[in-house]
Amino acid sequence: MDSTKEIFGITRRQFVTSSAAVLATSGFAHEANAVTALARQPSEQGKSGPGAGRGPFRVIIDTDPGVDDALALLLAMRSPELKIEAITPVAGNVPLDLTLPNALRMVEIAGRTDIPVAAGARAPLVRRLVTATYAHGENGLGGAVFPEPTTKPVATPAADLIRQIVRKYPGEVTLITIGPLTNIASALNSDPELASMVRGLVMMGGSLSGGNITPAAEFNVYVDPEAARIVFQSGIPVTMVGLDVTRRTSLTDDHVRALEAAQNPVSQAAAKIGRNAINHNREGGYLVGPNMHDSLAVAGFLDPAILKLQDYYIDVETTGELTAGETLGYSPVAGDLRRRPGMEKDATNMPIRGSAPTLASTKTSPVLRDKFVPNTKVAVEVDSARFFDLLIGRLSGSK
């Protein structure tokens, strides 16, 4: 049976029951593998910037195009450091009926029809789909119109293709996720051994500084918080490129003019999408252009010097009426929990606590982890100039 049908056919109670085993098992894996997992992070490979002896890295790009997704895909397909094994669209910014053809359009524009594109989930694991057409336009590309794609997706569903590729190249594949994490969670739920075979996961999503669809939640995590929680708890080495840094990547008229000046199909398509997105923002009364959230996740993988990362334990709120989709970051060296220099190691016994018990309960506050063990490298600073130099340079063909 199609694994996506199996997953979307379950009830919320069945989902919570089945995924509990994944979460519990992965909790032990975090402590056993924390040091080696973080050492395998792709951001630690190569110190001299893009193209300097790095790669090629096998990657799967999971995406919901989307304005910034489209530019991120074009950037990835113009980057020789990446061996793109598949592109797996998912419902998110717009429904799958739009994200799938939008991904196929980008493949054709980049002249990369050799890359398999596989249709993913039409809906989150246990929730109804919430889209972001208010930001990306009804067609997902800010109103920029392109011909219908002639390339067809492969027959294999996205979750199955992800599983097949990771198993074919164990320890070699990095997942670059720039949409809701439904496809990835579906693959993990259907194959308990899969997480240990993934080299790493670089995600655009989450935030430690407030959300963009609610005050608490970033959009990609908000759409499918249950899927995000499975990913963070899976034991896969995760790099989170969230709103803390992507808010500093506003596309400008100068960027678009540089793309328009380059005479190649990729730069012209990127300029068209960018110009429409900027105009869409202005019509909405926004003070800045659209942020290149997803392109930053790709660029940060290509050039580790673009981002500064810090270790956190990340979990996702899935039950809050006002906070569902919020990413919570625990660190003994950040915020009010930070220690003075030389005392950080003593703080690793910091417990990770759940909510306080109610008066009707005899239970104590649950301790989710008895000590601090990081599961995620979080981007906390960005070199925006270096990022745009890479993005515009690759899309225009000058780099």
Contacts of 263 (CB under 8 A, 6+ apart): none
337 vs 15, more confident: 337
CA distance 150 to 118: 15
CB 249 within 8 A of CB 392: no
Residue 136 a catalytic site member: no
pLDDT band at 155 (very low <50, low <70, confident <90, very high): very high
CA distance 215 to 209: 9
Paired residues of 327 in beta bridges: 316
pLDDT band at 362 (very low <50, low <70, confident <90, very high): low
pLDDT band at 346 (very low <50, low <70, confident <90, very high): low
pTM of the model: 0.87
Q: Which whole-number Å values give the CA distances from 260 to 267, 273, 276, in the listed order?
A: 7, 11, 13
pLDDT score of 278:
93
Report all structural domains of the chain as residue ranges with CATH numbers, in order of start.
3-249+286-320+375-396 (3.90.245.10), 332-369 (no CATH)
Q: What percent of the chain has pLDDT over 70?
A: 84
CB 57 within 8 A of CB 82: yes
Paired residues of 367 in beta bridges: 353
Mean pLDDT of all residues in 20-47 = 41
Within 284-383, residue ranges assigned H as helices are 293-302
Mean pLDDT of all residues in 328-346 = 76
Residue 273 has pLDDT above 90, yes or no: yes
pLDDT score of 344:
63
pLDDT in tens, 4-33: 433 334 444 444 444 444 444 444 344 434
Residue 352 has pLDDT above 90, yes or no: no
pLDDT band at 133 (very low <50, low <70, confident <90, very high): confident
Question: Which stretch of 16-20, 49-53, 61-65, 353-357 has the lowest confidence by average pLDDT?
Answer: 16-20
